[in-house]
Structure 1
Amino acid sequence: MSAPYAESAGPKIVALGGGHGLAASLSALRQVTERLTGVVTVADDGGSSGRLRSEFGVLPPGDLRKALAALCGDDEWGRTWAEVLQHRFTSDGDLAGHAVGNLLIVALWERLAERATGPLADSHVAGLDWVASLLGARGRVLPMCSVPLEITAQVEGLDPTDPAGVRTVRGQSEVARTTGRVRSVALEPSDPPACPEAVEAIRGADGVVLGPGSWFTSVLVHLLVPELAKALHETRARRVLTLNLAPQAGETRGFSPERHLEVLAAHAPDLRIDVVVADDAFVADQPALAAAAAQLGAELVVADVAWADGSPRHDPQRLARVYAKVLSG
């Protein structure tokens, strides 16, 4: 199955992340180009995704589903399928909590794996392309790795009697809701196989967008996959980093915007960024943030990219206008 995006409709842009953050970025970028690829983290181990991952040994489908829903067409067909994908069963039975899209994706993976002569990784990508085609998606969605991953974090302050003590926390869901202070994250396996199509997309891109999203478990993890990191270092694409609109309870509680950049630099010290995008309402000390961005080689762009209701969510229309400007160079 071929890639479901048009071949001559705007720059080639790759967005990396996971969950609601990546969905927000894709919702904005689809207004900038039709040659859009979402590269999605595959470390989720909670909820419906965790159950399917454990039962069938597949990649967790939840963040992939959210990315596909964000790329659905604006017509009745696309809107209906987006709603169906996101529909979650509520009952007292075994289906309780499962999202329809998760089941659809896993069913396609199983069916294609039965027919395939190559590795299961091929069926992962093919299955996502089939779903994208069914939805009329305006872009492509790929997993960042060919195998499910486990996130481990070094967390300080979990024991109130030893506030400086550091412990290892395992699993994306546990890291996301930790009550301690996350110092660093790592992946198991430490050298996972990157999705070849994702590596190819990054190398051939005109623009790459990293973030927003859960900083440690959805954004930084992409930089810990050696082949992806190498592609991000070597691509000629314009690299844009989008900051969150507020610290996240658990992972980044109490973080300033510049602290987000500092931990990124600690996890990928050689990575150069061209532009850092931040919302003006979240930037308390613009000179400090500009200095932190400069350490990454980046220009700081501060703009109004949040919803007008004051909630910490990116407005796709406002974000699209900023992306159109900064990705054009």
Structure 2
Amino acid sequence: MSGAANAGVGGAKSGGTAVRGGSPRPGEGPRVVALGGGHGLYASLSALRRVTGELTAVVTVADDGGSSGRLRRELGVVPPGDLRMALAALCGDDEWGRTWSEVVQHRFLSEGELHGHAVGNLLIVALWEKLGDTVAGLDWLGRLLGAHGRVLPMSSVPLDIAAEVELDGEVSTVRGQVACALTPGRVQAISLVPEDPPACPEAVRAVLDAEWVVFGPGSWFTSVLPHLKVPQLAEALHTTRARRLVTLNLAPQAGETDDFSPQQHLEVLCRHAPGLEIDVVLADTGVVDDPDGLEKAVTGMGGRLVLADVAVPDGSPRHDPRRLASVLNEIFHEKR
């Protein structure tokens, strides 16, 4: 992608400073890569775009439900939904950004074939068909939206998640992201189909060039861990000189992490990525019942624990973008 195009992707329409409501311009702030998908990555990006003008989202591509699943089955494309949500999260707080974020997230309501389709999904697939290039299509839409960062798929092909699920003492395999999320059993581990998927080259380069890599929050087994099962991407995540930060969830994911403690989230991460060093684990003060136990687990991974109030004040299990941005900014600048 040309330098001019890259500048367009940054697309900041106003100046402003990190955390106080604006988004830093391209070139300002540390180079950050955020990994995940869905609502968790949306929350992370909504905060991170306030902290740095050098932001890349690497997004899971295993969705097989809803509008994304329908487009995937009909057209054979990478499911666009999580990519769309990431682009929407990177829209600015000005009128342009708010309007386009709402437009790409808009879903049609009808009695016909368009029912449930998200406008952004259709725009993304149209660009892919016209340009014949997944990354170029996402970059073009990012320019239109004025996105404060870049969005990339973790793999260049659509993937399926296969989960080992324990129910009543028996372990079986469940296939598909929707099936994994809805299983009544307890997910033990995940793998990808195909087993050796090609990584998106631009995503690998972004990880290797990053100063910080951020895992989570998000659905642990279906949004966060899949990145570690793409061999080339996993190798980059292990070998990058970037520091690695894990943002823990505010509540368990039904069907995936019921009754999981914060420590268990980290244990599962270690099992799926043996030898991966973590520098910082960020957790909300209000959801950690055993801070000493969590700190011991974090220290065992080679990192340090940061406890902070990063949830919205109303008590619902949602990260507050401004609170999270403020804490991340302090972590990145070694003030916390």
TM, length-normalised to structure 2: 0.92
Kept in 2: contact 1:238–1:327 (CA 8 A): no
**Is 1:140 aligned to residue 145 of structure 2?**
no
Task: Determine the C-alpha separation between the residues in 2 that align with 1:7 and 1:87.
Answer: 28
Instruction: Summarize the alignment of residues 210-225 of structure 1 with structure 2, pairs less than 5 Å apart.
Output: 210-225=215-230
* 1:228-252 Cα distance to aligned partner (Å, 9 max, x none): 1111111111110000001111110
Kept in 2: contact 1:257–1:289 (CA 8 A): yes
**Map of 1:52 onto structure 2:** 71
**Map of 1:234 onto structure 2:** 239
Root-mean-square deviation (Å) = 0.9
**Map of 1:244 onto structure 2:** 249
Task: Determine the C-alpha separation between the residues in 2 that align with 1:186 and 1:292.
Answer: 24
Amino acid at match of 1:125: V
Instruction: Summarize the alignment of residues 191-210 of structure 1 with structure 2, pairs less than 5 Å apart.
Output: 191-210=196-215
Alpha-carbon distance change, 86 to 7 in structure 1, aligned in 2, over 3 angstroms: closer
**Is 1:84 aligned to residue 103 of structure 2?**
yes
**Is 1:105 aligned to residue 121 of structure 2?**
no
Task: Determine the C-alpha separation between the residues in 1 that align with 2:291 and 2:30.
Answer: 30
Q: Find the partner of 1:34 among 28, 50, 53.
A: 53
Q: Displaced runs of 4+ in structure 1, greater than 4 A?
A: none
**Is 1:67 aligned to residue 86 of structure 2?**
yes
**Map of 1:178 onto structure 2:** 183
Kept in 2: contact 1:142–1:198 (CA 8 A): yes
SS class of match (1:141): strand
Task: Determine the C-alpha separation between the residues in 2 that align with 1:227 and 1:328.
Answer: 29
How far residue 67 of structure 1 moved from its aligned partner, in angstroms, is 0.3
Which moved further from structure 2: 215-224 or 4-13? Answer: 4-13
Amino acid at match of 2:179: E
Amino acid at match of 1:140: R
SS class of match (2:169): coil
Task: Determine the C-alpha separation between the residues in 2 that align with 1:167 and 1:87.
Answer: 37
**Is 1:14 aligned to residue 33 of structure 2?**
yes
Task: Determine the C-alpha separation between the residues in 2 that align with 1:174 and 1:188.
Answer: 14
Amino acid at match of 2:275: D
SS class of match (2:73): helix
Task: Determine the C-alpha separation between the residues in 2 that align with 1:292 and 1:177.
Answer: 29
Q: Find the partner of 1:303 among 291, 305, 308.
A: 308
* 1:299-324 Cα distance to aligned partner (Å, 9 max, x none): 01111000001000000111111111
Amino acid at match of 2:144: L
TM, length-normalised to structure 1: 0.94
Unaligned runs of 5+ residues in structure 1 are: 114-122, 158-162
SS class of match (2:88): helix
How many residues in Structure 1 have an aligned counterpart in Structure 2?
A: 315
**Map of 1:272 onto structure 2:** 277
Task: Determine the C-alpha separation between the residues in 1 that align with 2:330 and 2:239.
Answer: 23
Amino acid at match of 2:280: V
How far residue 328 of structure 1 moved from its aligned partner, in angstroms, is 2.3
How far residue 7 of structure 1 moved from its aligned partner, in angstroms, is 4.4
